[in-house]
Amino acid sequence: MGKEEEILARLRDAIVDLDITGVEEACKEAIEAGVPAYRAVEGMAEGMRIVGEKYERDEFFLAELVVAGEAMKEGMKILEPHLKGDKVKTIGKVVIGTVKGDMHDIGKNVVAIMLSAAGFNVTDLGADVPVERFVEAVKENNPDILGMSALLTTTMVEMENVIKALKEAGLRDRVKVIIGGAPISQEYAEKIGANAHARDAAEAVAVCKSLIEGE
């Protein structure tokens, strides 16, 4: 195992072990060793994927998800200044958020981080975002893509409400809409008039790239 692989493995394991200090130390070591910042983000994202699987198997609970998310945020504080230097050109602009009534943001955070690492300019609205805030953000930021996340079946309808509000505001044709989250399917995306659906962060990056290239 080379130096880069060893650091990335430590980053992954520190996330899974909920070791915030370990994440910070590994991020600093990655930068010092010349590991590209986006690769370090991928190492943390792999850890978050494992955390998500443990949550689904009831090995982890909400408290562990929150700590893992905090560990990743602390790592990102160290990596973000270097991420900007990794990419010369911005691919496109993305506004992203979790819909109203839904406080789940772990998956959305990973998508936002991975999009940033891939060269997108990302505006993260956070969780429990009302329809009006999504519309306002599209007006203000003029993004290429709007990403919406929902983990609860009861909040899925908010995605359709946002798309309707964008149409009413005359903004729908200006932005591509991608949706994701555990209960979301391609069929649902088509039903509510979204442009695309993604199952996970890696697919979200690929889909966003294809939406930009298809313009």
Is the predicted pLDDT of residue 25 greater than 80, yes or no?
Answer: yes
pLDDT of residue 7: 96
Structure tokens at 78: 């160290």
User: pTM surpassing 0.75?
Assistant: no
Query: What would the mean pLDDT of 74-83 be, rounded to a whole number?
Result: 88
CA distance linking residue 59 with residue 56, whole number of Å: 8
Per-residue pLDDT tens over the stretch 191-213? 999 999 998 877 898 899 999 98
Show the domains of the chain with their CATH numbers: 3-86 (1.10.1240.10), 93-213 (3.40.50.280)
pLDDT of residue 104: 85
pLDDT > 90: what percent of the chain? Answer: 60
Is the predicted pLDDT of residue 49 greater than 80, yes or no?
Answer: no
In three-state secondary structure terms, 60 is coil
CA distance linking residue 35 with residue 213, whole number of Å: 28
User: Within 10 Å of residue 127's Cβ, how many Cβ atoms?
Assistant: 19
